[in-house]
Amino acid sequence: MDWRTFETNIQNSREMMPQLREKPTILVVLGSGLFEVVKDWEEVQRIGFEEIPHHPRSGVMGHPGWYEIRLVGKIPVVFSLGRVHLYEGYTPREVVYGLTLWAKLGVKGVVLTNAAGGIGEYEVGSVVALTDHINHQGTSPLVGCPSPQRFVPMVGAYDKSTWEYLSRQGFPTGVYAGVLGPQYESPAEIKALSFMGATVVGMSMVQEAIMARYLGLRLCGLSVVTNRAAGLGEHTPEHHHVLQTAKNAAKRIRDALEMVIHLWEEK
């Protein structure tokens, strides 16, 4: 999808989108095994990925693929239950399609959650507030974007007041390395990522983070440490363990989300 087609499709989707009963200002993308966190918040509307023209469909276990608008307190928040990934064969622009659409519909801040392997000394099940990332996916959603805005700075991409606040509430902080996948890393790759400064590793999020900054959105990243990264623990990472551990960490993620949503709503 070239840039012009992307923009036309987004405009098209916007016009063909089901009527919104509430207009969300915050988007939360829920990663593998994390979508149960929404169940205590009142649901206002559900929109399937397939109801939105041009929207990519999700096909990974643990990623059902729809949006739910829910009230967190009185705040309307749109949750993406699932996302699409580069490793499924989607292009960077397909990966950021939903986020771009919601930004055009009035979203001002995005929380990107994900399951990740722990490189740093985190307990499995921890929720890590991200301070930065390393894009190790070798691509960007802005490749081919003709606007001078494509040279978007990534300094301070993850909103400092947000991760500092979470850190004061007891959440550990860290740096996310985004890899392509779908294979898990080799132990040598984890050693290299560790030298580079990464403390968690996963196969999503960095494309969305780059696009969020291009669109001027406030950004928070949260990783659930579902396993010790390859070569560091006793077990090799496995997808069903990742999903189960993410499910078990739902309460911690829910607490973090509630804090961030209320913090952002104050300003």
Residues forming the site for ligand HPA (CB under 6 A): 115-117, 184-185, 201-203, 226-227, 229, 237, 242
- Judged by beta carbon, residue 109 or residue 202, the one nearer ligand HPA is 202
- What is the smallest separation between the CB atom of 135 and ligand HPA, expressed in angstroms? 14
- What is the smallest separation between the CB atom of 234 and ligand HPA, expressed in angstroms? 14
Separation between Cα atoms, residue 122 and residue 114, nearest integer Å: 15
From 240, 253, 265, 216, select the one nearest 74 (Cα to Cα).
265
Query: Using CA of residue 160, residue 164, residue 165, residue 170, what is the dihedral sign?
Result: positive
- What is the smallest separation between the CB atom of 15 and ligand HPA, expressed in angstroms? 36
- What is the smallest separation between the CB atom of 38 and ligand HPA, expressed in angstroms? 20
- What is the smallest separation between the CB atom of 136 and ligand HPA, expressed in angstroms? 11
From 183, 160, 172, 179, select the one nearest 225 (Cα to Cα).
172
- What is the smallest separation between the CB atom of 73 and ligand HPA, expressed in angstroms? 31
By Cβ distance, which residue is nearest to ligand HPA? 117
- Judged by beta carbon, residue 230 or residue 257, the one nearer ligand HPA is 230
Token pair 């001078």 in the structure block, residue: 148
- Judged by beta carbon, residue 193 or residue 256, the one nearer ligand HPA is 193
Q: What are phi and psi of 83, to 5 degrees?
A: -150, 170
- What is the smallest separation between the CB atom of 2 and ligand HPA, expressed in angstroms? 30
Q: What are phi and psi of 231, to 5 degrees?
A: 85, -10
- Judged by beta carbon, residue 29 or residue 116, the one nearer ligand HPA is 116
Separation between Cα atoms, residue 176 and residue 194, nearest integer Å: 10
- Judged by beta carbon, residue 140 or residue 226, the one nearer ligand HPA is 226
Q: What are phi and psi of 38, to 5 degrees?
A: -80, -10
Dump strand ranges (E) for the chain. Answer: 26-30, 42-48, 66-72, 75-81, 109-118, 127-135, 173-178, 200-202, 218-228
CA 253 to each of CA 14, 162, 191, 219: distance values in angstroms, whole numbers, following the listed order: 30, 14, 28, 16
- Judged by beta carbon, residue 24 or residue 237, the one nearer ligand HPA is 237
- Judged by beta carbon, residue 141 or residue 202, the one nearer ligand HPA is 202
Residue 4's CB: how many other CB atoms inside 10 A?
Answer: 10
